[in-house]
Structure 1
Amino acid sequence: MKSVYVGIAMIASLVAGAGSSLAAEPTFLNSGKVSPTTLPFSELVEAGDTLYLSGQIGNVPGSLKLAEGGISAETTQVMDNIKTSLEAHGYAMTNLVKCTVMLADISEWGAFNDVYKGYFEAGRFPARAAFGASGLALGARVEVDCIGVK
């Protein structure tokens, strides 16, 4: 009977601990290493054990100028920007679990994939959705937002 009480106490402790991390205030982070910190969004938000990265476009770090060279160059810059944002706050691409891709021209999906897959270990790709969109910020060809875990 004593082991039942110990087991119940352990479960209660785990539930209480989980509740406290969920109730923690989110942390809003901006490194300034990718986008100007004057923009009206956070680069990354930590909420409990979840990381929410704002959508990244292929802007040259510290500016609102897009990388030149079409979809491949913009995708490389987008992925570099995501990596920079994560690393600025102590995380890595391996923390990502879900990405959403918005393409100004869905026919460029293959060219996007050619670059994207080089940023992850084979077999460890985040879950992903992709869709065609019009009117991306600054006339970008691609935008990617991601969710990660600590």
Structure 2
Amino acid sequence: MDKEIVTPPELAEPRGFNHGFLIEGGKTLYLAGQDASGSDGEIVAPGDLLGQFEQVMSNLAAVCEEAGGSSEDIVKLNVYVADRDEYREHLAEVGEIFGEYVDDYPAMALFEVSGFYMPDALIEMEGFAVIDEADGTSEREAGEASE
């Protein structure tokens, strides 16, 4: 799979995102909105945007891994936050957390919303990943094959 970052010279240099990706090959994975719910379905780190951001990234990575890829395969994210100003105040920390999951920032958009399905949620993200067809199979497929 070939993944090329697209940065038009007439646009401002991106910081904390990329303008676009050109992908050849691979399978498209549609990532449903993930909030900071843990395995018990409850919001992790109530009141803590960075703690919730970490959980959301972990949730997105788990979906990518189940599909046979990794969080490195995420090429587009829509970020929904309860408080845009709070998110902007923590951009450096958000960038550090992103760095644990991706080498290249995805193409991104940020939206401030009035509320989420889970009342304690402060952030939710959804988007797309493109997984190299040469990457292995999902954990579920691997488990079924060994039975």
The alignment's TM-score, normalised by the length of structure 2, stands at 0.62
Specify the alignment match of 2:115 in structure 1: 135
Cα offset, 1:112, TM superposition: 5.8
Q: Distance in 2 between matches of 1:55 and 1:112?
A: 21
For residue 113 of structure 1, report the CA deviation from its aligned partner: 5.9
Partner in structure 1 of residue 57 of structure 2: 79
For the pair 1:114 / 2:93, whether they are aligned, the reply is yes
Within a 5 Å distance, the mapping from 1:83-94 to structure 2 comes to 83-94=61-72
Bigger Rg over Cα: 1
Residues 25-50 of structure 1: CA distance to partner in whole angstroms, max 9, x if unpaired? xxxxxxxxxxxxxxxxxxxxxxx831
CA contact 2:80–2:125 (8 Å) conserved in 1:
yes
Please name the residue that 1:20 is paired with. none
What's 1:65 paired with?
Answer: 42
| Number of residue pairs aligned between Structure 1 and Structure 2 | 100
Deviations 1:77-104 (A, max 9, x none): 0001111111122111121110000001
- Rate the CA distance shift 1:145–1:59 in 2: closer, same or farther, 3 A: same
The structure with higher relative contact order (CA 8 Å, sep 6+) is 2
Structure 1 residues 111-120 or 135-144, which shifts more? 111-120
- TM-score w.r.t. length of structure 1: 0.61
Runs ≥4 in structure 1, deviation > 3 angstroms? none
Following the alignment from structure 1 to structure 2, what is the Cα–Cα distance between the partners of residues 81 and 112? 20
Where does the alignment leave 5 or more consecutive residues of structure 2 unmatched? 1-25, 132-147
* Partner in structure 2 of residue 146 of structure 1: 127
Runs (5+) with no aligned partner, structure 1:
1-47
Task: Rate the CA distance shift 1:134–1:112 in 2: closer, same or farther, 3 A.
Answer: farther
The structure with the greater share of residues assigned to helix is 1
Query: Distance in 1 between the 2:42 and 2:58 partners?
Result: 15
